[in-house]
């Protein structure tokens, strides 16, 4: 979900039980706003799904992640060139997202679009997994999915496969590996190649180069990334 400063419409301002403050982001099917819950007086995030041909809409309340997405911070560090995230904070975020993936796996859910733009930070720098627009809920833990969604640069070889190869929960681990690599190096391991070239590279035993770009990253984390993108 991309970030924005668009002002809420009059209809959106009238969402019952909330005082809408400002627009904080938007995705393909919804907009997100910071708002004040009138009952609890807490600042929350509202995901608003309006309908063009109806006055009806759906509003879902979430925890507000005031610092925005990891993608925003990656862009800032890329501008500085010589600055990187510390290994400790990367490991903390990795653990928090792994716990989130463990939880949704228990619900038979594949997120399907793990990437920095869909990981958000609270004011205390805790990482939260968001934007489940590409997620798929399976009937059971042994079922596999076939529908392709998500962002190509972070997709596993199974999801990129044009022959209809099915995939399971491991696809999220692959995408997390690519995300952690990007946090370490401020670039993706497969660059901006097209789908066929990317799939060819991913099918090989791709060795990450975390230690070559960011010399504060130790071998254990580099090996963990390699494990994820070769799963």
What is the pLDDT at residue 208?
Answer: 46
What is the pLDDT at residue 10?
Answer: 57
Residues annotated as catalytic (active site), given as ranges? 113
Residue 5 lies in a domain: no
Q: What is the largest CA-CA distance in the chain?
A: 56
What is the pLDDT at residue 205?
Answer: 44
Q: Are 12 and 33 in contact (CB under 8 A)?
A: yes
What is the pLDDT at residue 127?
Answer: 96
Which of 43, 63, 83 finishes a domain? Answer: 63
Residue 100 lies in a domain: yes
Q: For residues 66 and 41, what is the distance between their CA atoms, to the nearest angstrom?
A: 16
One domain, residues 57 and 125? no
Residue 82 lies in a domain: yes
Instruction: Specify which residues 62 forms β-bridges with.
Output: 45
Instruction: Specify which residues 145 forms β-bridges with.
Output: 167
**Chain mean position to CA 76:** 18
In sequence order, what DSSP letters do the residues of 56-74 get, joined into one string? -EEEEEEE--TTEEHHHHH
Instruction: Specify which residues 68 forms β-bridges with.
Output: 121
pLDDT digit string (tens) for the chain, length 231 residues: 555 556 655 555 556 788 888 887 776 667 778 788 888 888 887 777 654 444 556 677 777 788 889 999 999 998 887 788 999 999 999 999 999 999 999 999 999 999 999 999 998 999 999 888 889 999 998 899 988 888 999 999 888 876 677 899 999 999 999 999 999 999 998 766 555 555 555 554 444 444 445 566 777 888 788 877 776
One domain, residues 46 and 84? no
Best CA proximity match to 69, nearest among 19, 118, 13: 118
Q: Are 129 and 111 in contact (CB under 8 A)?
A: yes
What is the pLDDT at residue 53?
Answer: 42
One domain, residues 53 and 101? no
Tell me the residue range of the domain where 19 lies: 10-63
Best CA proximity match to 46, nearest among 74, 17, 67: 17
One domain, residues 157 and 194? yes
What is the pLDDT at residue 108?
Answer: 96
What is the pLDDT at residue 125?
Answer: 93
Task: Give residues with Cβ within 8 angstroms of 40, minimum separation 6.
Answer: none
Looking up tokens 């608003």, which residue turns up? Answer: 48
What is the pLDDT at residue 36?
Answer: 85
Q: Are 179 and 171 in contact (CB under 8 A)?
A: no
């Amino acid at each position: 979900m991309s970030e924005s400063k668009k002002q809420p419409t009059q209809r959106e301002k009238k969402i019952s039980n909330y005082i809408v403050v400002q627009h904080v982001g938007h995705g393909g099917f919804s907009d997100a706003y910071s708002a004040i819950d009138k009952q609890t007086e807490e600042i929350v995030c509202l995901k608003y799904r309006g309908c063009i041909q109806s006055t009806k809409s759906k509003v879902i309340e979430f925890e507000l992640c005031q610092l925005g997405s990891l993608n925003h911070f990656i862009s800032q560090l890329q501008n500085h060139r010589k600055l990187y995230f510390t290994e400790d904070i990367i490991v903390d975020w990795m653990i928090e997202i792994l716990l989130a993936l463990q939880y949704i796996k228990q619900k038979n859910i594949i997120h399907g679009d793990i990437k920095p733009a869909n990981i958000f930070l609270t004011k205390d720098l805790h990482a939260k997994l968001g934007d489940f627009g590409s997620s798929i809920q399976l009937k059971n833990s042994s079922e596999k999915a076939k529908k392709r969604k998500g962002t190509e640069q972070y997709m596993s070889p199974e999801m990129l496969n044009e022959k209809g190869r099915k995939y399971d929960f491991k696809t999220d681990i692959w995408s997390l590996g690519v995300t952690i690599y990007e946090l370490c190096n401020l670039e993706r391991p497969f660059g901006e190649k097209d789908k066929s070239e990317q799939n060819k590279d991913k099918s090989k035993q791709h060795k990450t180069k975390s230690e070559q770009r960011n010399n504060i990253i130790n071998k254990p984390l580099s090996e963990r990334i390699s494990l994820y993108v070769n799963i």
